[in-house]
Structure 1
């Protein structure tokens, strides 16, 4: 199966051997970050550094001042970790090694935006803001994300793009020094803690026939047993059912607008994939989607499979023959990946409908992990 490896520009820039090393894995494509959230990343083979600290969410190329000048919200240019056109220079080096380059665009995940414009963030039922999570129901946020998708995706030389976080973001987030694991939250409790109650969402709930203030009380009441160590219970399932139509519609609107904006700027044949989860209520980098809708909208999906390949089945069941269904496997042992078992996991994914593979992450993985990938025989 066709395979792509994820990379950051700083994995390539300043390391002349990096493009050939990636090509030697047998991959044909690289998915290269062009807009990315804050992170601290290891670069275990780079000749001049070992740790890169990206201090805030930024575009990794120079944003077009004319394109952004009349917009209320705009992206931040990267600091020294990806100065200037870091994406463009890395993409050129990778292409020179014979690799196809696709852009990797993170959308609704931006802590700096939330810090500087707290009014744009998700607000939970208790009134707590999530500064890492822009609320996609807000018109100014949606407009910003759609514009960002178009500019960051269609970079010179890119043959396609993968849009991450193209939907709701919620509680689950590896924030700096996270300390939220004291009480375990099941899937429904995670959803309830991710419901937004900003002014725009309250209007959306009201238009769906829900009283926002009463809804807040219902969410708090459903979660109260959780804080005492119990289950969220049937009330949580009722709340999920009551609120999902508005939430799913809002996410679909963003996804439709983002894909249309990318295609409006791209050349013919430019591939557009979404990082996706087939459960519409889920939040995060792999946005919850309706499988049939998203496969009728985009060219395909990238599906998280490190914990098992079962999430592929709802997409494969749609019968979209030309769609890309890419199984995304972590190949970093220290992050829970099993590169030594990649052959078995890839075979399982193929049996469930995967048409391509994604490897997360060729820059972060140890040399031993990359050697295990190369020896797996599945990359090519």
Structure 2
């Protein structure tokens, strides 16, 4: 059987004495517990004290102000209480579950709104406040400090990195009202190319005519471009790869220096990808497990693509939430197909958000694999 982990938030367990045993009964070995996270409005269908938690982007261990430099995260105390990660982790360990720290890096609207010059800016000049751009030294230092503070304050030896690279136009937050624009995947990739000050400087230093490039991108959006490469030079992609690799190296080095033994990375083998999954075109140095998005039943290709890159361990990120049906046989078949395609680990989203019926299908599916 592949290794199995389920995802959760600290508030799913703090204040609910029954929650750790319920999650332990699902058959997974560990919980990937949010240690830093973006803004979210989350259901808590079983919690004895609430049914909905509205959380801003924040850090779920204490924010020690002297540890931070230019960019500082918000603490999560207003909605999650003091040191909520460690309290939840202790309750999970008590029932025999391992705990992995789920660390969201560049997706932080609270930090971004205070520091718009450090955010992704598209060719039209629109700032994506939820998206910190890793071309900035301050963002790399923020990521490094984020990992250091979480690992030092929690003692975790396994971490899962999300948004370890730039985010783009596809945010799926606030009240998202962009679908009607009918932007193609190529349009979305073009709208995700960053023109912040640091990226502009890097482009200019690489010999690119930034004004001409920006004009070409603006003209191509919505005009039916078939590929990004029709509009944008390979140098732009190479710069993005370099910036993402620098962030990844900084956080991996910091994690290893503080005793982390296993580092997993949400990733996809798509060079122009932005968002929760880092774009990879080769095996990421220092990463033990690459996690492919696999929420759709026709997503085995993502696992196979990471396998072709030579990734040793490959996780499959599976959801038990809508639009996936509450059907244990279909979930089991989906997971089995991913394992057959090369997945060695199953990452199941999300123990706290799922109804009792959906937790039942997770339990049944894991038991049948």
The TM-score normalised by the length of structure 1 is 0.92
How far apart, CA to CA, are the structure 2 residues paired with 1:149 and 1:12?
A: 23
**Aligned residue in 1 for 2:99:** 101
1:306 and 1:337 in contact (8 A); partners too? no
- 1:363 to 2:352 alignment: yes
Scaled by the length of structure 2, the TM-score of the pair is 0.94
Aligned mate of 1:281, from 250, 268, 272: 272
The 3-state SS of whatever aligns with 1:214 is helix
Q: 1:318 to 1:130 in 2, by over 3 A?
A: closer
Select between 23-32 and 151-160 the one with higher mean Cα deviation: 151-160
Q: Give the 3 Å change call, closer, same or farther, for CA 325–180 of structure 1 in structure 2.
A: same
> Which residue is equivalent to 1:228?
none
| Residues 57 and 108 in structure 2, CA contact (< 8 A), matched pair in contact too | yes
Distance between the aligned counterparts of 1:129 and 1:247, measured in 2? 17
Q: Judging changes above 3 Å, is the alpha-carbon distance between structure 1 residues 365 and 120 closer, same or farther for their aligned structure 2 residues? A: same
CA distance 1:235–1:191, shift in 2 (3 Å): closer
In the alignment, is residue 57 of structure 1 matched against residue 57 of structure 2? yes
Alignment-derived partner of residue 119 in structure 1: 117
The count of aligned residue pairs is: 365
Q: Whole-Å Cα distance in 2 between the matches of residues 10 and 162 of structure 1?
A: 19
SS in 1 for 2:112: helix
**1:176-191 equivalent positions in 2, closer than 5 A:** 176-191=174-189
In the other structure, the counterpart of 1:147 is 145
* Pair 1:326 & 2:327 matched: no
1:52 CA displacement: 0.3
Indicate conservation of the 8 Å contact 2:220/2:231, yes or no. no
How many Å separate the matches in 2 of 1:31 and 1:240? Answer: 38
**1:245–1:85 distance in 2 versus 1, CA, 3 Å:** same
* Structure 2 gap segments, 5+ residues each: none
Residue 63 of structure 1 deviates from its aligned partner by 2.2
Say whether residues 1:266 and 2:259 are aligned partners. yes
Is the 1:326–1:354 Cα contact (8 Å) retained in structure 2?
yes
Q: Could you tell me which residue of structure 2 aligns to residue 131 of structure 1?
A: 129
Q: Would you say the 8 A contact 1:170–1:195 is kept in 2? A: yes
1:342 equivalenced with 2:331 (yes/no) = yes
Structure 1 equivalent of residue 49 of structure 2: 48
Residues 278 and 288 of structure 1 are in contact (CA less than 8 Å); yes or no, is this contact kept in structure 2? yes
Q: RMSD over aligned Cα, in angstroms? A: 1.8
Aligned twin of 2:30? 29
1:222 to 211, 214, 220: 220
Question: Using a 3 Å threshold, how does the CA distance of structure 1 residues 39 and 289 change in structure 2: closer, same or farther?
Answer: same
Residues 335-362 of structure 1: per-residue CA shift (max 9 Å, x gap): 4466521211111111211001010001
Following TM superposition, by how much is the alpha carbon of 1:249 offset from its aligned partner in structure 2, in angstroms? 1.3
1:123–1:318 distance in 2 versus 1, CA, 3 Å: closer
Alpha-carbon shift at residue 379 of structure 1 (Å):
7.2
- Give the corresponding residue for 2:86: 88
CA distance in 2, matches of 1:291, 1:52: 39
1:316 to 307, 313, 336: 307
Task: Tell me the distance in 1 between the aligned counterparts of 2:103 and 2:35.
Answer: 6
Q: 1-side partners of 2:62 and 2:368: how far apart? A: 33
Q: Secondary structure at the match of 2:32?
A: strand
